[in-house]
Homo-oligomer: A and B are copies of this chain.
Amino acid sequence: MLTSGIDGVKEMLKLNPWDEVILDLKLADIGNTMITTLKALEGVGDAVIAHSFTGIEGSLGELSQYCRERGLKLYLVLAMSHRGWPLEFTEKLLRLASEVDPHGLVVPATKPELIRLARSLFPAKVLISPGVGVQGAREGDALCAGADYEIVGRSIYAAPDPFLALSKIVLSQEVRVNECKGAEAR
Contacts and interface: CB of A to CB of B under 8 A. Distances in A.
A31 B59 CA distance: 24
A29 B55 CA distance: 17
Interface string A83-106: 111101100100010000000000
A77 to B, nearest CB: 8
A53 B79 CA distance: 11
Contact of A29 (B26, B54, B57): B26
A53 B83 contact: no
Nearest to A93: B86
Contacts of A47: none
Interface residues of A, number: 32
Given A26-B29, A28-B26, A28-B28, A55 B85 contact: yes
Interface string A46-79: 0000010111111111000000000000000000
Interface of A: 4-5, 26, 28-32, 40, 51, 53-61, 80-86, 88-89, 92, 96, 135, 154
Given A4-B40, A53-B53, A58-B84, 19 more contacts: A26-B29, A28-B28, A28-B53, A30-B80, A30-B81, A30-B82, A31-B82, A32-B154, A54-B82, A54-B84, A55-B82, A55-B84, A55-B85, A57-B83, A59-B84, A60-B84, A61-B84, A86-B96, A89-B89
9 contacts: A26-B28, A26-B29, A30-B81, A30-B82, A55-B83, A55-B86, A58-B81, A86-B92, A89-B92
